[in-house]
Chains A and B, each alone.
Chain A
Amino acid sequence: MDYKLKHNEEVIALAVETAGDGLLSATVGDKKMEVAFARISENRLRLVVDGRQILAFVAETSDGKAVMVDGRTFLLADERTTGTRPRSGAASGPKLVTPPMPAVVTQILVAQGQTVEKGQGLLVVSAMKMDTILTAPFAGVIARINVAEGQKVAPKQVLVDIEPAAANEEVHG
């Protein structure tokens, strides 16, 4: 079976063959590895990869599986489950006014109907003592402000709708 695992913006392809109970061989790129594996508990796995024993820790999170090996943690998601979604997120992502992490809106710098330049500060969000200014991804007019000061917000949530100044601006912006 083939796996396509997403890590950040990258896809890692694995060709996996099962070789009996608790045994598999995995090919990544041109490297083939023989693996024995066993579940120790819900979050712990024992792997033996080409003779080396490795304890791996795995936990489900809202964005995929967090996997820790040798002190290094990676957030991996199966392309088959994430890839079936329309890829609009990636294409329109930078165009949305959305916080990079869960945060609290501390200041709204614009008003509805106001004309804004590309890069102009729209609102300030604060997470864990760090302030981040969210800026206009393109020039336009503020169509709607969807949040209030003091409100908790999360990534992918659109905080401000902007009507683009001109259609071609949006395409190239």
Chain B
Amino acid sequence: MFKKILIANRGEIAVRILRTCREMGIATVAVYSDADRQALHALEADEAVPIGPAEPSQSYLSIDRIVAAVRQTGAQAVHPGYGFLAENAEFAARCEREGIVFIGPPAEVIRSLGDKITARQIMQKSGVPIIPGMLEAAHDPAAWAAGAEAIGFPLLIKASAGGGGKGMRIVHAPADLAEACRAASREAAAAFGDGTVYLEKFLPKSRHVEIQILADHKGHTIHLFERECSIQRRHQKIIEETPSPALSPALRAAMGRAAVAAARAAGYVNAGTVEFILDPEGRFYFLEVNTRLQVEHPITEMITGLDLVRHQIEIAAGRPLALTQDDVCSRGHAIECRIYAEDPQQNFMPSPGRIAFFQEPTGPGIRNDCGVYAGFEVPVEYDPILSKLVVHAETRELAIRRMLRALKSYAVLGVKTPIDFLLDVLASAPFQAGETYTDFIASHFADWGPDRQTLELAAIAYVADAMAPKAQPGGRPEQAARPGPWQTLKHWRL
């Protein structure tokens, strides 16, 4: 087993990874940019190495600087987390060349699955259902028109190198096709350095359901059930749950088999996620493979009791996967809410700033994967995720209630968060009925505003705060609030 692992990431995911390393007795190295000198991940690791300025391209995305930090600290392996270099085939290849273990799939697998057209070809050859559409790149209006004629409208233009909704366009009529393709191609070229686009059928009323897989170096591959991730804003997930309310046991088994087939077809090793689109008739189509640990992996850990990061590290160290498909079972229901520094009233615009007060929810069945603390300045340079609040309970209904309880006691003051928005989504009839489709927020919460009654209570709290005396500065401010054991312990004996 490795003695030391460098975590090439920041925030909550870096913290989450180093905790498993610590449990495994593996020393951890954090890297941090100038903006992250006091970030939680840098403070919690055994060693922390500065890797440059705040700009991601000069720090967390700099392959040379990460490799130099590995060399400097003598780490044997690198865990890339998600985002940044996690799905960068060049980085994985560089690690391979330098004799550093990359905790993830081989570079060649990342490369072929990162190209959506190549991935579609691989899946089609191995019998995994793909969304009807093109299997080759199209570069001119004649090819786009021919493709569109075969597919029909509405259709979706996608960037082959794409991700995060960039280079993506929905087209409803032939007249708009050529211009939309050109615009999508420009956007893709700017974002990914590759303007290749292709067309596929647009499925309007659909769900996003993904299957977690694990594969070892010997080709032994299993799945760890699904995650339903249909509640999205700006093509980014904000609530995920498992099991999906839309899957029957038969459909779950079929999608699990398809995901395992997809992983085998691609020569997959380590943890990965096969994403599918599920239509209302229960037909599913391959979307893409995420060749990394997913943001929402904790809900799978909750229902299976498995530590995915531990399995990633063991597989990367060359150990065979001891689990068989029959060993894996699912218990209860888990939900995750992503807590971003963002303003749900301003179209989820990022809201960086200093966290003035922070209190996490606690209690039965609650897990909060968190990368911040009170006093931390949330930097503008990075993804605004603060934490992922996860609950586990016996049933979906109980998990929803548990999440409502947890959200209500989660205090994040100083930056805006979607906590109150999430409360209203979870309490809504369509969510509780499991009507979770990718258009959920646009359909049900386009005009969301904060709760009036609570606003009045908050106004009263404001007044009470102004009237209640504060402790003297320089005194012992919380003395009254925090009595020592001699005041609180009553009858006791040794």
Contacts and interface: CB of A to CB of B under 8 A. Distances in A.
Nearest to B340: A128
CB-based closest 4 A-B pairs: A71-B408, A59-B356, A56-B461, A37-B464
B494 interface: no
B457 A103 contact: no
B352 A59 contact: no
Interface string B443-469: 000000011001111111111111111
Nearest to A152: B380
B167 to A, nearest CB: 14
The winner among B382, B413, B481 for most chain A CB atoms within 10 A is B413
B409 A71 contact: yes
B414 interface: yes
B407 A128 contact: no
A110 interface: no
A38 B458 CA distance: 15
B349 interface: yes
Nearest to A39: B468
23 contacts: A35-B464, A42-B471, A43-B356, A44-B481, A57-B411, A58-B462, A59-B413, A61-B354, A65-B462, A66-B357, A66-B413, A67-B462, A69-B457, A69-B458, A71-B407, A71-B409, A71-B410, A71-B420, A76-B459, A101-B351, A128-B382, A129-B382, A130-B350
A40 B480 CA distance: 8
Interface residues of A, number: 59
A71 B426 CA distance: 13
Nearest to A8: B345
Interface of A: 3, 5, 7-8, 12, 14, 16, 18, 22, 24, 26, 28, 31, 33, 35, 37-45, 47, 49, 54, 56-62, 65-76, 78, 100-104, 127-130, 132, 150, 152
B353 interface: yes
B459 A3 contact: yes
Contacts of A43: 356-357, 413
B349 A59 contact: no
Nearest to A150: B55
A127 B380 contact: yes
A76 B481 contact: no
Contacts of B382: 128-129
Contact of B456 (A28, A39, A104): A28
Given A42-B478, A43-B357, A65-B465, A100 B349 contact: yes
Q: How many B residues touch the partner, as a band?
A: 35 or more
A69 B462 CA distance: 11
Nearest to B346: A100
A39 B479 CA distance: 12
Interface string B351-381: 1111011010000000000000000000011
A8 B409 CA distance: 23
Contacts of B359: 57
A49 B454 CA distance: 12
B28 interface: no
Given A70-B457, A74-B458, A24 B419 contact: no
A14 B461 contact: no
Given A42-B478, A44-B481, A127-B380, A72 B352 contact: no
B394 to A, nearest CB: 23
The winner among A3, A5, A58, A65 for most chain B CB atoms within 10 A is A58
Contact of A37 (B55, B468, B471): B468
B412 interface: yes
B462 A128 contact: no
A65 B481 CA distance: 21
A104 B28 CA distance: 32
Contacts of A76: 458-459, 462
